[in-house]
Structure 1
Amino acid sequence: MVLRLNIDQIEPATRDWICKVQIVEIGRPRESLDKKCTFQNLILEDEQECQIRAVMYTDEIEQYVSTLKLFNTYLISTAKVKVSLTSYGKPIHRFYWILDKETVIEEIKPSDEVEKPLSPPNKLTITSFDRIPHLMVDSTAEIDVLAVVLHCGPQKTAGRSHHKCREITLCDNQQNQFLFTLWEDFGEIEGHEIYSKMATQRDLLVILGRSIGISTYQGLSLQTRYNSTVRVNPNYPQAVALLNWAKQNKTMLLSSPSDTTSTSSSITPMIVTPSGQQLLSIADISSAASMGVFCVNAEMAILDEFQDFCVLECSGCKQKKRTKDRKDFHCPKCNRKTSLVPRCSFQIDLIDNTATTTASISAELGEKLLSMTAEDIFDITCTKRQSLSLNPVHEMLSTKVFDIQLRKSSWTSSNTTTTTLSILSYMEKQHPPQSTTDRTSKKIKPLEISEVEVMPTTAAAAPSNAVGKLQPPTPTKKV
């Protein structure tokens, strides 16, 4: 006897079952990690809105290409039921199905008088942007996001691994923003689709990303993973509502900080601090033993005017070099002849009513603060051997308080544990408090943590190994 069951009632040992499902997501065919086969992921939803991943391989992909369609309803019998692996992230269900040659798949037509198709799906388990910073401690976390696309960059090569990627800026209806990195074929296919549509369409786009990972690449950001899917302008009610909101607020969204991050058009957008995240004082962050991402309300000041405001790094692996000579050299990490490029990097002081501390700020965030590019900074400080004129920066910072997102990180080298703060994002508060702190207040002692050995972390702008030790510099006059 064939059992009519829902998804949650079906286990690997279940025999002779049939389940009524609707296809709510179809991924495109992709190569396996070992390049030995082609697979295609689908997400199925039953009458109770329970969802499960199904996978097809090469032969079945070709067999069902004209049969399995998005949002169509099917009766599926005796698919292979397997335990979901957690190697590539947290699955949507504890099991997944394999649709093979022995699986019976029968489409339910709209004209069918016995079996009626399921209603269009409206279930989306979306993670709000203000929840993302709290999830970054779990490296396996995978989330679904629905967001407006503000900017889509060109395909590029990132980091030491020379993997290709494409970076896009996402925004929710609270104007929170995150950088979303489409790696490898996602950048080539879905990224190209987004890039092309943004170049030809007047309206902004909305994307639905499923099984998206949380990463510390480019600060705190999102990235595609092995089982991810990305769909443009899906017809879920939530997506339609968000798209209508984006159309009504297009002018405001495109004038947001993400489009004015830097004077350089090649710089990627900054990551805006998500609203609603718990605020801590500088004293609390400095004394906390835990590592992670925190938010503070603080003033900013550059007390050390004679520090180096940029470094040279390998254009391939992003490894920082101590030299100021930009001639080509053979990089041992890249194993090829390459050039050195300037990157903005300096120390800035953060001040609230509890303490003062020093944090590092780099790349596009530093350039935005100084209102100049890394090339300009290098030309002034290294080529012309002049000091930067910081009076406009001092004047700009003197009356402002910022929402600042910080990452506290540490690494151990030669039995010494070093702890640093680095700025992931900042945004001016609209209503700063009446009283301000004394900018000449004494700095707190360097950050300390327990003697427990901690593995390295880094705040580099692209995936890399731990960067060199960062300490508050002692002001000295350049010669």
Structure 2
Amino acid sequence: MVLRLNIHQIEPATRDWICKVQIVEIGRPRESLDKKCTFQNLILEDEQESQIRAVMYTDEIEQYAATLKLFNMYVISTARVKVSPPSYGKPIHQFYWILDKETIIEQIKPSNEVEKPLPPPTKLNITSFDHIPHLVVDSAAEIDVLAVVLRCGPQKNVGRSHHKCREITLCDNQHYHTPYSIVLMFCILKQNQFLFTLWEDFGEIEGHEISSKMATETDLLVILGRSIGISTYQGLSLQTRYNSTVRVNPNYPQAVALLNWAKENKRLLLSSPSNTTSTSSSIAPMIVTPSGQQLISIAEISSAPSMGVFYIQAEIAILDEFQDFCVLECSRCKQKKRTKDRKDFDCPKCNRKTSLVPRCSFQVDLIDDTATTTASISAELGEKLLSITVEDIFDITCTKRQSLSLNHVHEMLSGKLFEIQLRKSSWSSSNTTTITLSILSYMEKEHTTPSATNRTSKRIKPLEIGEVEVMATTAAAGPSNALGKFEPPTPAKKV
């Protein structure tokens, strides 16, 4: 007897079953990691909106190329049911199906009077950008994102390797419905941005499609990315992985609503942060951090069991007024250079002649009732704190060889308490491991305390990792390797 079942009722031991589904996602054929076969991923959804991944290989891809289409309905009989491997992140279901030669796939025509048509799919398990920082401790985490594409970079090689990628900037609209002021709304939109790296064929195919559409269409684009990985290399970013799929302007109700919102807010979304930062700016930095997060003290950061994102309340001060407030880096690979000369040079990492561009980067002191530590602040966050553009910083400190005046910054920071989002990260060279703290965001709290420069500060103990020698974060006064959240990070290595 053939059993009519839904997806959640079917297991590897189930025999003689049929299931009515529709295709809600269909990837393009891709090569396996070992280059030995071609595969194609599909996501199927049943009458109860349960979803499962199905995969076809070379022969079946060709056999069903004309039959299997997005949003069409099918009755599938006795596909091979396998346990989802954990090696490629967290799957949407504990099992997956293999559609092979022994599987029977029958299309349900719209005119079919027996089979009731399934409603258009609406189920999306989207992760908001606010929640992404809390997932970085799980390196295997894979998420689905729905976001607006703000910028799309060119296809490029990563360093000296043969790997290629394309970087695009995404923004979601988690807070768009709240009646914020224009200034605060701008800061929130900039906070809700992530760099998304399309690796290898994703950059060549989906990336090319995105770039072409942005060049020819007047409206912004919306993309749906499934099984997207989270990278923490030199900052928090997103990246395509083995099972990822990327679709442009999908016809889900959520995507249509986001696209309409992007049309209404196009000018605000495409506003350049550098254009809104000037030496005459009187607007205090207002970078909004997620609410309701657990706050810890500075002293507790040293005992935190892992790298990651932390939230503290502290004063901010710039005690070292003679540090470099900007660095020069390659305009392509973002590699920092120890020079003050902006002339073009042959970058060994990019393997081409390129130019050097300045990036704001400096150290600040964070002070609470338990300790004092040093953290780096970079890019637009640093420019906003100093109320000056990076071009002006470079002109003053590098071209004119003058000290940067910080009187207005000291006055602005004096007696103020901030809620600060920090990233704790590490990097190693030789037998030394260095722990660094970088500021991802900050927001002024309605609280007054004594000036940070007038109080007796405590220094935290050096942060330690295993048996290796560790340099304390408070010891370094030079620019940190950790980048701010708005800085497009160097692409992570392909996994």
Report whether the alignment pairs 1:388 with 2:416: no
**Structure-2-length-normalised TM-score:** 0.78
- Quickly say closer, same or farther: Cα 1:93–1:262, change in 2 above 3 A: farther
SS in 1 for 2:133: helix
Query: Of 174, 183, 193, which aligns to 1:178?
Result: 193
Q: CA deviation at 1:53?
A: 0.8
Aligned to 2:119: 119
Aligned to 1:96: 96
- Quickly say closer, same or farther: Cα 1:329–1:6, change in 2 above 3 A: same
Matches of residues 291-310 of structure 1 in structure 2 within 5 Å? Answer: 291-310=307-326
Amino acid at match of 1:346: F
Aligned to 1:470: none
Amino acid at match of 1:90: K
CA contact (8 A) 2:31 2:37 kept: yes
Aligned to 1:476: none
Query: Of 233, 248, 269, which aligns to 1:232?
Result: 248
**C-alpha distance in 2 between matches for 1:126 and 1:312:** 38
**C-alpha distance in 2 between matches for 1:258 and 1:278:** 32
Query: Of 446, 468, 488, which aligns to 1:433?
Result: 446
Amino acid at match of 1:459: A
SS in 2 for 1:18: strand
Q: CA deviation at 1:61?
A: 2.4
Aligned to 2:293: 277
Q: Which one is further off, 220-229 or 364-373?
A: 364-373
Aligned to 2:147: 147
- Quickly say closer, same or farther: Cα 1:365–1:165, change in 2 above 3 A: farther
1:309-349 Cα offsets, whole Å, 9 max, x none, are 33455677655555556788887x74957678354432112
CA contact (8 A) 1:28 1:41 kept: yes
Q: CA deviation at 1:363?
A: 4.1
**C-alpha distance in 1 between matches for 2:252 and 2:468:** 44
1:435-471 Cα offsets, whole Å, 9 max, x none, are 1341212343144335635899973531479xxxxxx
Q: CA deviation at 1:372?
A: 5.7
CA contact (8 A) 2:224 2:249 kept: yes
Amino acid at match of 2:197: L
1:196-230 Cα offsets, whole Å, 9 max, x none, are 44455454443322111111145222222121112
SS in 1 for 2:462: coil
1:172-219 Cα offsets, whole Å, 9 max, x none, are 231551313132333333334334444554544433221111111452
CA contact (8 A) 1:177 1:271 kept: no
SS in 2 for 1:39: strand
Q: CA deviation at 1:280?
A: 3.1
Query: Of 207, 212, 215, which aligns to 1:191?
Result: 207
SS in 1 for 2:88: coil
SS in 2 for 1:130: helix
Aligned to 1:449: 463
Amino acid at match of 1:449: L
CA contact (8 A) 1:420 1:447 kept: no
- Quickly say closer, same or farther: Cα 1:237–1:213, change in 2 above 3 A: same
SS in 2 for 1:133: helix
1:374-432 Cα offsets, whole Å, 9 max, x none, are 66645543454332333454455457655432111235666655332112x22444xx4
SS in 1 for 2:256: helix
- Quickly say closer, same or farther: Cα 1:458–1:95, change in 2 above 3 A: farther
**C-alpha distance in 2 between matches for 1:146 and 1:375:** 34
**C-alpha distance in 2 between matches for 1:258 and 1:232:** 29
Aligned to 1:475: none
Report whether the alignment pairs 1:163 with 2:177: no
Q: CA deviation at 1:305?
A: 1.2
**C-alpha distance in 2 between matches for 1:155 and 1:14:** 48
Q: Which one is further off, 375-384 or 346-355?
A: 375-384
Q: CA deviation at 1:49?
A: 1.9
CA contact (8 A) 1:273 1:426 kept: yes
Q: CA deviation at 1:297?
A: 4.0
**Structure-1-length-normalised TM-score:** 0.80
Q: CA deviation at 1:22?
A: 0.9
Q: Which one is further off, 97-106 or 389-398?
A: 389-398
Amino acid at match of 2:100: D
1:92-121 Cα offsets, whole Å, 9 max, x none, are 122222223332111111221111221212
Q: CA deviation at 1:75?
A: 0.6
Amino acid at match of 1:439: A
Amino acid at match of 2:209: E
Amino acid at match of 2:152: G
1:38-75 Cα offsets, whole Å, 9 max, x none, are 32211001222221111123333233222111111101
Query: Percent identity, aligned pairs only?
Result: 74
**C-alpha distance in 2 between matches for 1:437 and 1:37:** 66
SS in 2 for 1:105: strand
SS in 2 for 1:8: helix
- Quickly say closer, same or farther: Cα 1:127–1:205, change in 2 above 3 A: same
Q: CA deviation at 1:26?
A: 1.1
How many correspondences in the alignment?
454
CA contact (8 A) 2:414 2:452 kept: no
Matches of residues 391-402 of structure 1 in structure 2 within 5 Å? Answer: 391-398=407-414, 402=418
Aligned to 1:9: 9
**C-alpha distance in 2 between matches for 1:79 and 1:259:** 56
Q: CA deviation at 1:137?
A: 0.3
Matches of residues 308-323 of structure 1 in structure 2 within 5 Å? Answer: 308-312=324-328, 320=336, 322=338
Aligned to 1:108: 108
- CA-based RMSD of the aligned residues comes to 3.8
SS in 2 for 1:87: helix
Report whether the alignment pairs 1:359 with 2:372: no
- Quickly say closer, same or farther: Cα 1:366–1:327, change in 2 above 3 A: same
